[in-house]
Structure 1
Amino acid sequence: MEFRPLRAFVEVVRQGGFSRAAKTVFATQSTVSKAVKQLEDEIGVPLLDRIGHRSVLTAAGEIVYRRGVKLLADRDDLLAELDEIRGLKRGVLRLGLPPVGSSTLFAPLFAVYRQRYPGIEVRLDEHGSEELEEMLRNGDLDFAGALLSQSREFDWEPVRREPLVALLPRNNPLCARPSVSLTDVRDIPFIIFDSGFSLHRIILDASRRAGFEPTIAARSSQIDFMIELVGAGLGTAFLPRMIAAQRRHPAVRHVLLDEPDTEWIMAMAWRRGAYLSGAARAWLDLVREIHVDDQGRQDRSIPSIT
């Protein structure tokens, strides 16, 4: 099986159509269509059910897509490893970072990395943890900064642990307490991150464990906007203590969240078993050098991350 038709087919599925896929692989739409047809002829069954302007995966197409993503990622690893054996002097680091905490935890690493390795091109993607996890799985990233979870697909290196704080309007009586639980704030509307963020899942899961379904006043991916909503009295939001401390607001108070299994643990993740290029290994060494989390390194019972 040739990789070029397989890559064209995978991109048609990822991008949701032939025209978008053509832009991604820098080819014409006709070339992409021919490549997919070539792959179908080689396999002997249709991979896409073309309905008008839409294309839907057939059962065979689902299998080829799932396997094809891994084959292409493994091929990229192979080529990268061979390039290094040939003495590659320049490289690429593909890095995914979440919007929450990246400026504090990873911006200093960028500066040091660029100073040490000026010939390495850094390709940065910024998304929520769930999308970063999918990009790692597909081989689109070397590393992603994300929160710990139960996934066994990735290896990880701990970076930072922080408790969460509840952000409350300054006139709320709960602000006088040293800490609050989710049950204490259950009657206040929640202002939470969008569903693609791990903090979205953490807060909702903890609320359900506490026996209630919170009222959602707003969902957002913008921290400053969420804080402004709290200041306007719309509800309560939740942030890692480190992040909240950097964004003080005169109308908002921070109260420690005393709730089990809500600690914010940021780590650097990579696909288990993936080949790490020289550029990637240099980044990981730098993470370990600058962000050594002694507690995380000793407690290996903590599961892998997304």
Structure 2
Amino acid sequence: MNVSMKQLRAFVAVAEHQSFTRAAAALHSTQSALSLTVKELEEEIGFRLLDRTTRQVVLSESGREFHRLALKLLEEFRNVVQNASDIAMLKRGVVRVGATEATACSLIVPAIAAYREARPGIEVQLVITLASSMFHALRNGEVDYIIGPESLQDAEQGSAVRSEPLFRSPVRAWCAPGHALARKPRIEWEQMLRTDLIIPAMDFSTRMVPAIRQHLGAGVVERSLADAGITRRWVTNITAALSMARAGLGITFAAEYVRPLAEAFGLEGRPLLRPQLDRVVALHARTGRSLSPAAAGFADFFRDHLRRVSREAASGMILLPEEERKARPAAAFGHRPRRTRAGQVG
């Protein structure tokens, strides 16, 4: 059976006006065209809907029941169209954003709060994932996209995931105020490796250590890592690392943008130099999959939110230029020359 919305609207109009002439005028159609449309509907469903007399047109017994159903269908169709319009106009919708704990607490939650003021009909669901499993959630469709470390891309992703680097943030040392290194205005990696260390980065060995080794020399790094008198604690999330640092179990490191979270634990941050390492944060989405209007809208809002926040002196974020955002960097960690106040590279 092939019944169209056009046929239902024609039938309902005739039933309400009890006249083909008046119904045709209401629908901006002609009487003959409207009569043909209703006739085609009757032929399609297999029974007469209207009883026609010389004075009026009235519903048949079967037509009364069908009229009730037609009204319900048209109302549901109007709701579908309205909902689609609301979705397109960002009046309603659901966004599922995956994020590591660090980016969620420090960046995404404030953005969600601001977005709710602008788009109260859009529900933003935040899915916290471990860095090691964030791409699994993306590939399985559990989230629309992920905002997290760019450095965790690997061969397993292949071309299934497209990444847009958003900003870079210098890695800082974070420690309790009473820690021995807290007295220093800046800390070097060689000093970090010679003290009890809390390691929250899963790419510490694969990406950070090679960069440190390149700067300090392999011998210095290997001797420090082999020192049995130094305790190293590996953790899977930044909250555990910051909590341990607050408890005096060692010093930890994380990107500058986690400052709000670190300070909530009562920790102090210090520049971590020789070498200066950066963490790059990116937006990761599935290749070949279009985003819903709500998901695309929040992504645009988040980019604007980053631009606003990056203007603050303590944000610890350096927005990447357009050319770097389009081309995915080969690695998120590396030696970045330090610029002096005079603008010299040192």
TM-score by length of 1: 0.58
Where in structure 2 are the equivalents of 1:159-170 lying within 5 Å? 159-168=166-175, 170=177
Please list the CA deviations of residues 83-140 of structure 1 after superposition, one character each: whole Å capped at 9, or x if unmatched: 99x9364432121121113233112321233334333333321012221111112222
Which secondary structure does the structure 1 equivalent of 2:277 belong to? Answer: coil
2:187 to 180, 184, 195: 180
The answer to whether the 8 A contact 2:174-2:262 is kept is no
Aligned positions, number: 219
Once the two structures are TM-superposed, the CA of residue 258 in structure 1 deviates from its matched residue by: 1.5
The answer to whether the 8 A contact 2:171-2:277 is kept is yes
The residue type equivalent to 2:277 in the other structure is T
Once the two structures are TM-superposed, the CA of residue 204 in structure 1 deviates from its matched residue by: 6.1
**For the residues of structure 1 that align with 2:272 and 2:251, how far apart are their CA atoms?**
12
Closer/same/farther in 2, CA of residues 168 and 277 from structure 1, 3 Å limit: closer
1:154 to 141, 149, 161: 161
Once the two structures are TM-superposed, the CA of residue 207 in structure 1 deviates from its matched residue by: 2.7
Please list the CA deviations of residues 187-233 of structure 1 after superposition, one character each: whole Å capped at 9, or x if unmatched: 2122122xxxxx33146642355233475533335645533433444
Aligned twin of 1:97: 99
Once the two structures are TM-superposed, the CA of residue 147 in structure 1 deviates from its matched residue by: 0.9
**For the residues of structure 2 that align with 1:222 and 1:241, how far apart are their CA atoms?**
16
Does 1:239 find its partner at 2:254?
Answer: yes
Where in structure 2 are the equivalents of 1:77-156 lying within 5 Å? 87=84, 89-90=86-87, 91-149=93-151, 150-151=153-154, 153-156=160-163
Once the two structures are TM-superposed, the CA of residue 263 in structure 1 deviates from its matched residue by: 0.9
Does 1:297 find its partner at 2:299?
Answer: no
Which secondary structure does the structure 2 equivalent of 1:276 belong to? Answer: coil
Q: Which segments of 5 or more consecutive residues in structure 2 lack a partner in the other structure?
A: 1-79, 88-92, 214-220, 308-317, 333-346
Give the stretch that moved more between structures: 141-150 or 237-246: 237-246
Please list the CA deviations of residues 44-103 of structure 1 after superposition, one character each: whole Å capped at 9, or x if unmatched: xxxxxxxxxxxxxxxxxxxxxxxxxxxxxxxxxxxxxxx99x936443212112111323
The residue type equivalent to 1:184 in the other structure is Q
Superposition RMSD in Å: 3.6
Once the two structures are TM-superposed, the CA of residue 251 in structure 1 deviates from its matched residue by: 8.1
Aligned twin of 1:220: 235
Please list the CA deviations of residues 126-164 of structure 1 after superposition, one character each: whole Å capped at 9, or x if unmatched: 012221111112222111111112455433344443211
Once the two structures are TM-superposed, the CA of residue 253 in structure 1 deviates from its matched residue by: 4.3
Where in structure 2 are the equivalents of 1:219-298 lying within 5 Å? 219-221=234-236, 223=238, 225-244=240-259, 247-248=262-263, 253-260=268-275, 262-292=277-307, 294-298=319-323
Q: Which segments of 5 or more consecutive residues in structure 1 lack a partner in the other structure?
A: 1-82, 194-198
**For the residues of structure 2 that align with 1:246 and 1:260, how far apart are their CA atoms?**
24
Give identity over the alignment, percent.
23
**For the residues of structure 2 that align with 1:231 and 1:284, how far apart are their CA atoms?**
34
Once the two structures are TM-superposed, the CA of residue 272 in structure 1 deviates from its matched residue by: 2.0
Greater helix proportion: 2
Does 1:191 find its partner at 2:216?
Answer: no
The residue type equivalent to 1:133 in the other structure is F
